Amino acid sequence: MFRFRRLALAALIPAAALSLSLPKVLAQTPSPAPAASASPSPAPSASPSPAASASPAPAATPSPAPSPAASASPAPTNSPAPAASASPSPTAPPPAAAATPAPVQTADPFGLETTLEAKKVVMVKGTANWDSAFDTLIDAFKALNTLLDKQGIKHAGNAMIVYTSTDDTGFTFLAEIPVEQDPKNLSKDMSIGKSPEGKVLKFVHRGSYDNMDNTYEAITNHLDDKRLEAKDTFIEEYLTDPLKTAEDKLVINVFVPLK
């Protein structure tokens, strides 16, 4: 059974926050150093500078002042640069994370209670091995379609497969197509009858026939969790034409009659 896993993108946010905090710490560390050196530095330089000349003393006093300012100005210049480059990286993941769950929330109903109404159908009996199951079902539908096309009889509903028994090697089935009038010249394996009716649980499968094992495993788990007991038969209704649709694009309703 397929299990959908969501990516834990939140793990990227602490890493981004750590990378943002490091530049701030580095920016704050050098700034006190010049401030500390600036206060003692002018004091010693102020005393010798009057010895040289009194007038340069004011010039000597401003010169240290720009040097801390100059040394401090690169530090802020460097700190915004990482902050600007780091800010897009945490901003980019959240939209991706928000967009990922959207398809999951629009999943088909699973285990919906519904009631089937009997329809007139033309059917053909068959047996199949699991290894060639889909090819056998396609051949059965082709035989029914050939019969109906020759007699100009249109479908009155979606094609169906009714599984009458299964085992480890294969299964027996009825391929059915709803009709409004009785076809003639049926082969020995064909007959006219009615489709199954009554209360069922409805499940939806999308994808290839080979992947239906995953759907049936999920159905079995659902029945076990709900403590429901199914009958020995189940029905597949092909919402997409299996003769014209790519196998990986099939949409199939699976109906499970309950005891």
Total residues found in the chain within this entry: 259
User: Rounded CA gap, 27 and 29, in Å?
Assistant: 6
Whether the CB-CB separation of 144 and 124 falls below 8 Å is answered with: yes
Whether the CB-CB separation of 183 and 230 falls below 8 Å is answered with: no
User: Rounded CA gap, 44 and 35, in Å?
Assistant: 15
pLDDT at residue 94, rounded to an integer: 54
Q: What is the value of pTM for the model shown?
A: 0.59
Q: Where are the domains of the chain?
A: 9-105, 112-257
* Beta strands in the chain, from DSSP E residues, in sequence order: 112-116, 120-129, 160-166, 170-178, 190-194, 198-206, 234-238, 251-257
pLDDT at residue 109, rounded to an integer: 83
pLDDT at residue 92, rounded to an integer: 53
Q: Which residue has the tokens 């009716």?
A: 197
Q: Which residue has the tokens 């530049």?
A: 23
Contacts 24+ apart (CB under 8 A), 56-60: none
Topology of 112-257 in CATH?
Multidrug-efflux Transporter 1 Regulator Bmrr; Chain A (3.20.80)
DSSP state of 22: H
Please list the pLDDT of the chain residue by residue as tens digits (259 residues). 332 222 222 232 333 333 334 344 344 444 444 444 434 444 444 344 443 333 444 444 444 444 443 344 444 444 444 444 444 445 555 555 444 444 434 578 899 999 999 999 999 999 999 999 999 999 999 999 999 999 999 999 999 999 999 999 999 999 999 999 999 999 999 999 999 999 999 999 999 998 999 999 999 999 999 999 999 889 999 999 999 999 899 999 999 999 8
pLDDT at residue 6, rounded to an integer: 23
